[in-house]
Structure 1
Amino acid sequence: MNSHIEQLFINYVRDNKNQLYILAYSYVKNEQDALDVVQDSIQKGWTALDTLENQHQIKSWLYKIVVRTAIDFLRKMKRIQVTEDDTLNYLSEQQQDAYRNVDLESALENLPFSLKQIIILRFFEDLKLEDVANILDIPLSTAKSRLYKALKLLKIDMEDEEKIHHG
Structure 2
Amino acid sequence: MGNVLTLPWQGRKKGESNIKLVKKAIKGDSKAFTELMKVHKASLYKIAYSYVKDEQKALDILQETTYKGLLNINKLSEPKFFKTWITKVLINVAIDYSKKEDKIVYIEEEANIVEKAKEISIEEKLDLYDAIDSLREQYKMVIILKYFNDMTIEEISQNMDIPINTVKSHMRRAKKQLKEILMEGEINEQ
Q: For this structure pair, what is the TM-score category when the shorter chain's length is used for normalisation?
A: 0.3 to 0.5
Greater C-alpha Rg: 2
When normalised by structure 2's length, the TM-score is: 0.40
Kindly indicate which of the two structures has a greater share of residues assigned to helix.
2
For normalisation by structure 1, the TM-score amounts to 0.45
Q: Which has the higher contact order (CA 8 A, sep 6+)?
A: 1
